[in-house]
Structure formats: C-alpha cells, structure tokens
Chains A and B, each alone.
Chain A
C-alpha cells in the first residue's frame, strides 16, 4: 500500500472520501444486480427444449421418500433391503470360494510344498500364515463387497443419496453440523478414508472437522463383513430357518443405526465443547432421478471399489498372516507368544465382554479392519487346537452346526461376546489408512489424536457397560 502523497493526490483523496459515502452493502447489491441482469438476458435469449417441470412419477416418488410419515421408514427399509440382499446373496459365493481356496487349495499347496520338500517353517509361513489369511480375507470379503458396492452405487446413481441428506439435515443442523455430513457419512459406509476425503465438500472448517472426526461411526466396508458374519453365526442362528436372514439383517442394521446415532451424539458433543459454533449455510441440490446405468455401475463399482479395497486388504493380510504365524509358532517359556498375549489380555477382554483373542486380533489388525475376522479365526484355530478347520471346514457362512460356529463356541464365545464384538467393531479407532488420511486432511496431530481416541474410548466404555449389564441380568 502506497500513501497518497506522490500521486495525483487531489483526485485519489476525493475517491477515497467518496468510498466512505457509499452505502456499506453497495458492493453486494451490485453483484446481485449483475446476476439479475445475466438471468434476464438468459431468459430472453435462451430457448429451453422441452418442459422443465418434473414428471409426475418423480414428484410422487419424492413425496414418498421425503415426507414426514414415510421419509425415515423408507430410508431404513431401503438400507435394510440392501443389507438383506448382501447377507443372503453372499452365502453362496462365499461357500464356493472357501471350498476352493481353503478346502481344496490349501491341501493342494501343502502337497506341492511336500513334493519339493520345503522346510516346515517356510511352508508354515507361506501357506499356514500368509496364504490361509489371504484366502480367508478373499472368501469372507469379496462376495459381500461385490454385492454391496454395486447396490450402493446404483442408489447413488439414481439420485437417492441427496434425498437422504435432505431427510437427515434437520438432525445434523440440531447438533451443529453441516447437512452435507450426511453425504460424507454415506461415503463412509463405503470407506472411511474416502469419507474423510469427501468432507472437502464442507467449506466451513469447524463443521468439516466434526465431519472428519465422526466419520468413523459410519460402518465401513471393512467392518460390514465382520458384522454380517457375526450376526449370521450368532443372531441368525437363534431363529428358525426362514427368519435367519431377517434376524441377521436386523442385527446389522441396529449396529449401523447405532453408529449414526453415535455420530449425531459426538457431533453434538464436539460442537458444544472443543469445536464450539453454530451450523452454517446449507444448500443442496436434489437432482432429478436418473435411470442408473447398470452395466457401467457394475463395472466401476467392481473395479474401482471392490478390487481396490480387496487388493488393499490382501496387501495388509499377507504381512498380518506372517505376524500371526510367527506369534503362534515362536515359543517363549513353553508357550507361544500368541498364547502369552491372549492370556495377558483375556482379563481385560472379558471385562468389556470380549476376550483375549479378539483384542490380540485388533492389535494385529490395526492396519486394516478387513482382516480382524480372519485374524480372530486363525488365532482361535491355533489356540483351541482345532487345526482340522483349516482343511475340513469350508462353509464359513453356514450357520447351523457349521464348523465356524462350533469353532467359535469352542473358543469360549457366547452371545455376549458376539454382541460386544459387533459393538467394538463399530466403535474403535479408525484403521491406519483412515488415521493417515485424517492427518493429511487436517494437518493437525491434535485432531488426529482426537479422531483416533474418541471412538475407542466410547467403545471400551460402551462394551464394558453392556457386559456389566449382561452379567447383572444373567446372574
């Protein structure tokens, strides 16, 4: 800024004085009139082809999807339908994959290893460790993902997600959050790291931080299989045949809705304490419905999401398999390292309704949620000594009298363990990728730590409360 002394000072000083005489909102009003002028020109000079009014069925559908009476039930029903299709549909391909990859593949590979006389430890590391974990990840995760992602993408393409944001916005406003958090939450149902990146659509920094920190409460695809598997084995099995799918769906939906409730709760907590403020501007376009391009949807959701996420899971599964094999086979003072860890963590685990195996699995599985269940299975196999599961048991999703159910019951699991595992799987620290993404997006160690410790703190407290309540009622 230069001072006016060296310039044609009379004129500039006059301009400066005149600026004070202008009404304070003059600039805003000019801009407003420029826009109005542009709109006027467009109206007169641009001919619109076809009617701009919406078709009757779109209006009727919109009323069903957003009205006071039917908006929220319709939303729950749609998501329940997607889950049910995923749970029921994933059974068959899962059994098929497990039968081939584990039942046939593992003995075949072991045969090969014997034929070339690999040393026992090398075949152990490669086959019992890395191959078996990877095979489990693929057979447990691939089918649900291959069904869930395309269904979700179809809803997205159809234009339903903005309607979800529209229906939920009032709740977000009340907790001091941005309405677009509904969109990043939906994205988080796919992947939390993607959801955290998606918060860039929120322009107010405070509300963006809230969306980032609470995104983890949206159940991500890495955890859906855990939820679906445990719900099927433990809660579905409580019911007779035809009701099993529905019961499992209801259990998973309960957890997902609880996650949404927790997201609202923590958002409210944050916007009243460390991130004080009021909800700011919100505008959301409700686009017209578009018929989803089914083939392109299948292609993009299979390639972009399913294969990408699966590849990441496999990348993390292999080293984790190695770690699991090592801690199970390296013996210290007459016991394997895994057994020591499990025994050490068992009291803590039982206190919060879980057990040592699950806690060790969560420690090994910090890199990725996807491998929690495979890790739990591996560790349970190794600690119960039911090694024949690796070769004899294929049907992971079968419920009644299935080896998986038998295996977990042999590992000391009860319905409480299952309930607490489902809770803990929803409410614990984000996976390492998400934590890293949060750090990159916020550029702040403080908020990264918040986002990491807040959910695990809530999770431990909640699981402990459920366990205490259970024991009180049961005994």
Chain B
C-alpha cells in the first residue's frame, strides 16, 4: 500500500509538471513529496523500470502513455472526490485537499465511476481544475496569474490552487472561489486589490500566486451594481440576481427551493439577538439564513416589489 501511494503521488507530480510545462526531476519530486533526494531518485528509477516513466537525460523524466493513463486515473479520483466533498459535506474547504489526497489511493475504478455518475459527470472540480474523463481526456491549460494582470482589467477566476495550504486557507476565508467575476483595482508588486462579485478584497503575494484568471465570455461584462444579500439593511429591499459559485450542492438546491431565484424580491423580516442569522421575507415566507449563506446570494439593492 505504501508503495502504491508513493507510486501514485510521484506519477501525479510528473503529470502536473507535464501539464504545466515544467521539468520533472528528482529535485522537484523530493520538494513536492517532502522526501530526501535519494528516496526520490530511487522512486523515479523504480517507475522507469515499471515503464511508467522514461528518463530523458540531464535528470529529466517524462511520462509514458501507460504512466499518463495511470496518473490521470488518480487525478480523476482526487478531483471527483473533492467535488463530492464540496457538494455533500461540511468539511472546511481547506480540508478537502488532504482528505482527497488520502482517498485517491483507495477508491477503485468502479467507485470512481459511480461517484462521477452520482455527481452528474462534472468536468470541473471546485477549485476550477478540469477533471479527466474516464478516457483520460483533459483540455489544455488556460488562465493567467492574477498578479500579472493590469489595473482595470476584468475577467473571471478560473482556478484557485489549493497547495500550499496556508495561503489557500486565507483565500477561502475571503470567500474567493473559482467562477467569480473580478476587476483588478490595483497591483502593487505581488499584492493586488480586487473587486470580486460585489466584494473588495486584498490578496497578498502568496495568495495572488495561487489565483488564476481568464477572459470573460464574449458579451459578458462586470456588473458594478452587484451586492450581496448580507449587505441589505433593515427597511430596504433587494432583487435577486443569482447565487454565487461558492454556493454548492444541497445548499444551492435548498435556496432555490425556498424561492431565492433570479427576480425574487427580498426584505428583512427579523434580526436575531446576535444579528446572525437574519430572517428574510422571501416570496411570502420568513426564512432564516446565516450570514455566510446570505453572502452567496447576489442581489441588486433597492429593487421594489413587483
């Protein structure tokens, strides 16, 4: 089992290097896996022996077709499992990776297939990473680092890298997830100030390095009047625009079921003693939502009743 984990982790690393166009070497593997250089070299030699890798000379290694198929199977299990965690569980986002990291080595092909079917064969995991198909199909890498974008640039978050964990945890605390539309407000060295779906936030250099962005779809633009339901003050009203990409699975369905759909007009009904949760008047019913959930509801403030 230990051997299997090491094999799969090493193949995943080589696959990641291939995908991102970086060289895979004993040094890079030792760095990624946190093992001594000798162990990494020995591991790579074993993988060459089992014809998952070929040695390219100058310490470089490349995946064979067989190795690539194997690596993508593991990546597929990992990303599907993360998608399932995001939709079905209450684990914090910063825990998903570690859990999937353990589970990817245990899931059988049948289980992975079953998981994919249950989730509706998703193509993207919650971080915005593509999930390889059962045939091992993957699109080419796209997206740029957010800190490389000029001031005033607008686009969409395509990918939030979950490793290393510490900056990722800070990102999740800001509520920034793949799929949000952003405008770059200012870039200062690696730091950048952005506005993401109605929220202004600052990313430090480490965080910015883990956030990738892409162009908006043709005809799409940034909605500057966008606010969150949690911004609504007592006495005002809000018209729902949609639900944010951070709102997933059962939570998303529940909100839609309750009538939080584009066009609904919402007012504050009651505020609990601590101010959180708040009860909103939605389509004639009084529904209590926690602030974290009201944050996921995108609205235009000041809309009037139909």
Which of chain B's residues 94-135 have a Cβ closer than 8 Å to chain A? 95, 113, 120, 123-124, 128, 130, 133-135
Indicate whether A243 reaches chain B with its CB closer than 8 angstroms: no
Indicate whether A104 reaches chain B with its CB closer than 8 angstroms: no
Whole-angstrom CA separation of A204 from B250 in the bound complex: 10
> Which of B6-14, B21-29, B189-197, B253-261 lies at the interface with chain A?
B253-261
Asked, given contacts A23-B217, A43-B306, A170-B277, whether A282 binds B270 with beta carbons under 8 Å apart, the answer is: no
Whole-angstrom CA separation of A356 from B92 in the bound complex: 47
Indicate whether B58 reaches chain A with its CB closer than 8 angstroms: no
A169 contacts B277, C-beta separation under 8 Å: yes
| B251: A residues at CB distance < 8 A | 280-281
User: Mask for A411-454, Cβ within 8 A of B = 1, else 0?
Assistant: 00000000000000000000000000000000000000000000
Using CB atoms, name the residue of chain B closest to A51.
B284
Indicate whether B273 reaches chain A with its CB closer than 8 angstroms: yes
| B284: A residues at CB distance < 8 A | 48, 52
A4 contacts B252, C-beta separation under 8 Å: no
Whole-angstrom CA separation of A169 from B289 in the bound complex: 10
Indicate whether A55 reaches chain B with its CB closer than 8 angstroms: no
| B137: A residues at CB distance < 8 A | 16
Indicate whether A278 reaches chain B with its CB closer than 8 angstroms: yes
A206 contacts B264, C-beta separation under 8 Å: no
Whole-angstrom CA separation of A149 from B73 in the bound complex: 57
| B256: A residues at CB distance < 8 A | 31-32, 35
Whole-angstrom CA separation of A24 from B129 in the bound complex: 10
User: Could you tell me how many residues of chain A have their Cβ less than 8 Å away from some Cβ of chain B?
Assistant: 58
Indicate whether A286 reaches chain B with its CB closer than 8 angstroms: yes
User: Could you tell me how many residues of chain B have their Cβ less than 8 Å away from some Cβ of chain A?
Assistant: 54
Whole-angstrom CA separation of A206 from B261 in the bound complex: 29
The CB with the most chain A CB atoms within 10 A, among B179, B242, B283, B288, is that of: B288
The CB with the most chain B CB atoms within 10 A, among A3, A54, A169, A276, is that of: A169
| A63: B residues at CB distance < 8 A | 270
Q: How far is the CB of B177 from chain A (nearest CB, A)?
A: 10
Which of chain A's residues 4-51 have a Cβ closer than 8 Å to chain B? 4, 16, 19-20, 22-25, 27-29, 31-33, 35-36, 38-40, 43, 48
User: Given B242, B250, B277, which contacts A179 in the complex, CB threshold below 8 Å?
Assistant: B277
Indicate whether A167 reaches chain B with its CB closer than 8 angstroms: yes
User: Given B134, B270, B274, B286, which contacts A285 in the complex, CB threshold below 8 Å?
Assistant: B286
Using CB atoms, name the residue of chain A closest to B248.
A28
User: Given A31, A40, A68, A283, which contacts B263 in the complex, CB threshold below 8 Å?
Assistant: A40
Which of chain A's residues 197-252 have a Cβ closer than 8 Å to chain B? 203-207
Whole-angstrom CA separation of A16 from B289 in the bound complex: 39
B252 contacts A28, C-beta separation under 8 Å: yes
Using CB atoms, name the residue of chain B closest to A174.
B274
Indicate whether B221 reaches chain A with its CB closer than 8 angstroms: no
Whole-angstrom CA separation of A19 from B113 in the bound complex: 18
A-B contact pairs, 15 of them (CB 8 A): A27-B120, A29-B242, A32-B242, A32-B243, A66-B272, A167-B273, A169-B272, A169-B276, A169-B290, A276-B91, A277-B90, A277-B95, A282-B288, A282-B293, A283-B293
Measured CB to CB, the residues of B under 8 A from A are: 89-92, 95, 113, 120, 123-124, 128, 130, 133-135, 137, 139, 178-179, 217, 242-243, 245, 250-252, 254-256, 258-259, 261-264, 269-277, 279, 283-290, 293, 306
